């Protein structure tokens, strides 16, 4: 089985700078080498989204071309695909390995594959649409955080009150069921459980995320359309979702970042964090993920590698190639 290496956006930018500054390194040769060694250097739809948000048009096109020459021809499954697969699998404590290549339904998946196969094929989502959608996703942070001398994560009761206005009295019984999973639950455990609950509510019940089609396709397949019915279904049938797995990792990153000043990139950082469990190695140049590695007591965090610890070797060029 091939090894799966994931590169979040800061690592992509780091490699772009390294390869651009030194002609000894070849993205095309590196890609061939990694494939020959049985390694998939994955990008995600979240990474591409952030690349498409690059304001400098020249750099944006250069980044895109660099990435399709260096990284694997298939995107890794979108965070939404991974979440839905986790739910369908029964939220196991140990998930069976499966092919991480994104399906054609995954965001940007088909277009990325075509762009890697044919250098003439270039795609770029409409700039206004992607900007408008990104601005809409800022709702995610505003919902969970409040401004007070910077940004702070809303407290457990404030989050509960906020959801009460959206979902009514049925919310209380759902959260109580989650809280009852603990013996002598602490305020910290209540806070974290509330954040996980709201991340699930926003992303996979309301579908406020990047790959909404995947979310809606799942709910349509089981005939549940209303957000309140969706969250009830998850609490009743997939309760482990709120304590482990990709949604829990997303929430952990949000809680961790709340210890400092909340940034505009917290939504994307949190989506990237879903891949830590699923990749064999996870490369980053972002200290948020290094803090994540140091703060979270989970062996999976040992997969996180800072780009400064990567070793670059000058390729040996044969006489035929020179």
pLDDT tens digits, residue range 132-150?
888 878 777 778 887 666 6
Separation between Cα atoms, residue 143 and residue 159, nearest integer Å:
9
**pLDDT mean across residues, the chain:** 88
Query: Do 145 and 221 belong to one domain?
Result: yes
Query: Do 113 and 12 belong to one domain?
Result: yes
Query: Do 162 and 221 belong to one domain?
Result: yes
pLDDT surpassing 80 at residue 43: yes
Binning pLDDT at 50, 70 and 90, where does residue 322 land? very low
- Number of domains present in the structure of the chain: 2
Query: Do 187 and 244 belong to one domain?
Result: yes
The answer to whether position 189 is within a domain reads yes
Query: Do 236 and 305 belong to one domain?
Result: no
Query: Does 160 or 113 have the greater pLDDT score?
Result: 113
CB 75 within 8 A of CB 40: no
The answer to whether position 52 is within a domain reads yes
Query: Do 155 and 90 belong to one domain?
Result: no
The answer to whether position 315 is within a domain reads no
Separation between Cα atoms, residue 142 and residue 258, nearest integer Å:
12
Tell me the CA distances in angstroms from 112 to 42, 71, 101, one per residue in order: 12, 11, 12
Range of the domain at 58: 3-128+276-309
pTM assigned to the model? 0.89
Query: Do 109 and 36 belong to one domain?
Result: yes
């Amino acid at each position: 089985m091939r090894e799966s290496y994931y590169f979040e956006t800061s690592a992509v930018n780091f490699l772009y700078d390294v390869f651009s500054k030194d002609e000894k390194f070849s993205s095309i040769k590196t890609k061939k080498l990694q494939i020959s060694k049985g390694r998939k250097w994955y990008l995600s739809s979240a990474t591409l989204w952030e690349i498409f948000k690059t304001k400098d048009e020249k750099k944006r096109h250069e980044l895109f071309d660099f990435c399709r020459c260096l990284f694997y021809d298939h995107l890794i499954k979108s965070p939404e695909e991974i979440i839905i697969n986790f739910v369908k699998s029964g939220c196991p404590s140990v998930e069976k390995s499966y092919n991480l290549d994104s399906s054609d339904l995954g965001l940007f998946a088909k277009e990325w594959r075509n762009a890697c196969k044919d250098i003439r094929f270039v795609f770029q989502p409409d700039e206004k649409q992607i900007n408008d959608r990104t601005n809409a996703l800022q709702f995610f942070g505003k919902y969970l955080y409040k401004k007070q001398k910077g940004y702070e994560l809303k407290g457990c009761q404030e989050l509960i009150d906020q959801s009460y206005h959206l979902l009514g009295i049925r919310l209380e019984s759902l959260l109580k069921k989650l809280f009852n999973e603990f013996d002598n639950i602490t305020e910290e455990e209540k806070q974290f459980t509330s954040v996980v609950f709201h991340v699930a509510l926003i992303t996979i019940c309301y579908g406020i995320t990047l790959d909404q089609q995947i979310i809606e396709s799942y709910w349509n397949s089981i005939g549940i359309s209303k957000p309140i019915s969706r969250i009830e279904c998850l609490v009743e049938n997939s309760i482990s979702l709120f304590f482990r797995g990709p949604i829990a990792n997303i929430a952990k990153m949000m809680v961790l970042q709340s210890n400092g000043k909340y940034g505009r990139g917290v939504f994307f950082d949190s989506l990237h964090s879903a891949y830590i469990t699923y990749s064999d190695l996870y490369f980053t140049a972002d200290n948020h993920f290094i803090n994540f590695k140091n703060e979270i007591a989970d062996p999976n965090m040992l997969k996180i590698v800072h780009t400064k610890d990567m070793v670059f070797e000058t390729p040996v060029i044969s006489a035929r190639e020179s």
